[in-house]
Amino acid sequence: MPAFDTLPLDGPALPPASGGPPRHLVVLLHGYGADGHDLIGLAPHLAPALPHALFVAPNAPEPCEMAPFGRQWFSLARYDPEMARRDPATLATALDALDAGAAAAQPRLDAFLDALLEAQALTADRLALVGFSQGTMMALRCALRRPRAVATVVGFSGALTGAATLADAVTARPPITLIHGEDDPVVPFPAMALAEAGLRAAGLAVTTHGCPGLEHGIDPQGLAVARDALTRALAP
């Protein structure tokens, strides 16, 4: 297990259920205003299917600007969520406005992933990224611009930023699974369809899954979809 004081970001981790050295890495990227403890709770549900995986949930680098606790990958101070909710036609514009923040945060996440892979002597094809909300935005922003493709990306309740320039920027094409609550009041459900279109236009393989009745969260159905995607990519 890595010593987090030697890595660019800190946060909780769950060692492999097998008790042996990690053969795979699953990095869980939390949403805005949360921290690594929020998503590490997924690890016990995923570990039985991935007994050789080390689960790591780094804390985002910045304190949350709109709460007395929690962290953020990048600022949402200029983001107007009502712009997306009032008119789906403005959703793409709203998401493009977030891309500068995601781009600024990407080097810190890249450095963390590089250090973690080096510490565990593993290659990129043994790494999976799982994001929630803003963490999904970061997972997509980072994974598609790395020099080597990770094994897979699973994104809950998130969105694709920078879709307009992705085709020219993409350097890696891992398989992607997107899962989204159909009643999400925070990141509107149509964001998943926009992400799928943008990713496919850039040549990426995408699977999508809508969760009826689910708001901004993760339900057992979505967790099962994520587990299957991770198992296919890491432990076929």
The number of distinct structural domains making up the chain is: 1
Mean residue pLDDT across the chain: 91
What six digits make up the tokens of 66? 């709109």
20 token code pair: 């042996």
CATH number at residue 17: 3.40.50.1820
- Alpha-carbon distances, residue 54 vs 151, 182, 234 (angstroms): 14, 31, 12
CA distance 160 to 208: 13
Domain extent at residue 22: 4-234
Q: Which residues are catalytic?
A: 133, 184, 216
Residue with more model confidence, 179 or 98: 179
Percent of the chain with pLDDT over 90: 78
Instruction: Reply yes or no on whether the pLDDT at 163 is more than 80.
Output: yes
Across 126-151, average pLDDT? 97
Average pLDDT of span 157-185: 94
What pLDDT is stored for residue 68 in this prediction?
75
Query: What is residue 1's predicted lDDT score, i.e. its pLDDT?
Result: 46
Greater model confidence, 56 or 68: 56
Contact 7, 112 (CB under 8 A): yes
Cα 208 → chain centroid: 14
Which whole number is the average pLDDT over 89-114? 88
SS3 content of the chain, % helix, strand, coil (to 5): 45, 15, 40
